[in-house]
Structure 1
Amino acid sequence: MPLSNRSTLTQYLIEQRRRFPGASGELNALLLDVSLACKAIARAVAFGELGGSSGDVELAGGAINVQGEVQKKLDVLSNQVFIRRNEWSGHLAGLASEEMAEPYQIPASYPRGKYLLVFDPLDGSSNIDVNVSVGSIFSILRAPPEVIQSGRDVSEADFLQPGAAQVAAGYALYGPTTMLMLSVGNGVVGFTLDPNLGEFMLTHPDVQVPEDTREFAINASNSRFWEAPIKRYVDECLAGATGPRGKDFNMRWIASMVAEAHRILMRGGVFMYPRDTKDPSKPGRLRLLYEANPVGFLMEQAGGRASTGRQPVLGVKPTELHQRIGLVFGSKNEVERIERYHQQPAPRDEVVPLFTERSLFRD
């Protein structure tokens, strides 16, 4: 499509607003603020070592975040960019981030609005030093009516809404090109940042996840901790054309969920970071509010499916701000198969071709 015929992000949002004549335009303005934050982060990521923001945070500054993870300098910078670009406009009642233990309160000098912004400012930042694609994930919720009416500070409980309540969600991918994938509840669209214009241009107007796939993504190093349904699914995929699935599969693993989600949105696949027994105190690895829910929203809006393995992830009622959860998402038929396996006992004659003990003396 010629550049002159492409819509900008602003034009797309205006077109979406026209579907709701009574809309105030606040959501549009908020999404444009989010996109501006993503542009700023994309620029910082692109400079890498040249920008002086690579590497870990100095220990004296607090190198461990609320997740117990080592913070990169770009984690802190990206978090600050999201706050500064979104706190002032009067569209938000509060923000919550992976990098902050508590919700962020809008300063008294700024007006407060009717939305909540939840975000992971730099997903996959452990890959920064090896130049692998990273991204930002965001989710927009409506603030509870009592917060809007009273103008009080937000609490953790205000953010504990199921994923189905999201007004909009998306992510920015900082790769060979910078892309913004977005849903406002009317399908999924993709924008590519034009570096000459500094504008996100609509390049993927109707993203659809294929229902079937021959690709799956999982961290195989955790195989000894997997529950039986996940082991069964992976083993059947690995058995290939001669196994029960009757076709060959490829396995992918990037260790950057934004990059994994983008691949699946573009060409299908299934991603698994399921609940396992590695740490019984944690029901999963990924965060529900600012990773699983926004990515799940995008998948469902694009015709895919997102699940804990046992239930739709968008139906889970959060119990805490940084709650972790098991997550399976991607091509609908594969995710539904995994859900069925969680409801069924594993076959007694299950063949485990890769993840069993091997011996020279074993038949």
Structure 2
Amino acid sequence: MQEIVKTIEKIAVLISEELKYADFGYASTQNSTGDTQLKLDVLSDMIIEREFRGVECVKALISEEKEEMLSINENGKFIVAYDPLDGSSLVDVNFAVGSIFAIYEGEISPSSLRGAVYSVYGPRIELCVCLGDTPKLYRLGREGKFAFAKELILNEKGKLNATGATQKGWSDTHRVLVRTLFDEGYRLRYSGAMVSDLHQILLKGGGLFSYPATSDHPAGKLRMAFEVLPFAYIYERAGGATSDGKNNSLLELEISKIHQTTPCFFGSKYEISKMHEIYQSEK
């Protein structure tokens, strides 16, 4: 898998360069879920596909920007599922955004996950790499190479609350959860870019990121294969916990279609325990 990670390092540098000067406008196309694509989404997807075509161990690609799985090397054993530019709608206001990669062996299933990587394009270019053990943070140096910075470990309890989805669609139960955390002194930290918000919680030591079921999106809005599962893989190996609001781990879920969505909660163990306590008591 090191060849895959090295390819992602190269991709991160290429996309970060495009972010500095590229056209921020909309393309004339839509992705699989009907969202109008930004030109940067399309460009980032093209960069990733081009770079992975030369990686023989990668059998196929799954992208937020592609309707179907793309086969590239029939003798490869890994499938890379990715969101090429998470938070791309925030590029025009110069917020940090990123790319998310899940590495599956043979099939798209939580049990087949062998690694997860995400990049953050902010004041610094950073990579979080998790290949089965504790996730590790790398930063791009002046010489153009990524250097190890530290391991990412979540505390038992955090201080941040990043809660997504349109508030008018929240359930009363979710409103209670959010209010409870704020009453306990949690600080709101939510940008609308999943990568940036989850990255902040990881680096600050803990908290809760939630994107619940809502009245307009009862199955959630975030995609399992290339958004939810890779971050679940990272958070649980950082000592945290995850859930869809009912189960004990997002990694218990099964995927029946590549663009399947789910409600999701990521955080320190205390916040996920508090979520279960409130969600069960409010039934």
Q: Which runs of 4+ in 1 moved over 3 A?
A: none
Tell me: CA distance 1:86–1:256, structure 2 relative to 1, closer, same or farther (3 Å).
Answer: same
Task: Name the CA distance, whole Å, in 2 between partners of 1:114 and 1:35.
Answer: 20
| Structure of larger gyration radius | 1
Rounded to whole Å, the distance in 1 between the matches of 2:221 and 2:246 is 16
What residue ranges of structure 2 are gaps of 5+ in the alignment? none
Q: Percent same amino acid at aligned positions?
A: 30
Query: Which of 136, 147, 169 is residue 201 of structure 1 equivalent to?
Result: 147
Match of 1:117 among 80, 86, 107: 80
Specify the SS of the correspondent of 2:36: coil
The 1-side partners of 2:274 and 2:8 are apart by 36
**Correspondence 1:173 to 2:120:** yes
Q: Is the 8 A contact 1:299 1:305 kept in 2?
A: yes
Q: TM-score, normalised by structure 2?
A: 0.95
Residues of 2 paired with 1:279 and 1:271: CA distance? 17
| 1:329 match | 266
Aligned residue for 1:54? 24
Q: Secondary structure at the match of 1:71?
A: strand
Q: One-letter code of the match for 1:323?
A: Q
2:251 is aligned with 1:314: yes
1:153-192 equivalence runs, <5 A: 158-159=107-108, 161-162=109-110, 164-192=111-139
Match status 1:66 vs 2:32: yes
Q: Please give the root-mean-square deviation of Cα atoms over the aligned residues, in Å.
A: 1.5
Aligned residues: 281
Q: 1:237 aligns with which of 181, 185, 191?
A: 181
Shift of 1:179: 0.1
1:17-50 CA-to-partner distances (Å, cap 9, x unmatched) read xxxxxxxxxx1112111221111111111x2xxx
More strand by share: 2
Q: Among 58, 73, 89, which residue is 2:55 paired with? A: 89
Q: TM-score, normalised by structure 1?
A: 0.74
1:299 to 235, 246, 249: 235
Range 229-238 or range 261-270, more displaced: 229-238
- Asked if 1:218 is matched to 2:218, the reply is no
Letter aligned with residue 168 of structure 2: R
The one of 130, 139, 157 equivalent to 2:93 is: 130
Q: Does 1:269 align with 2:269?
A: no
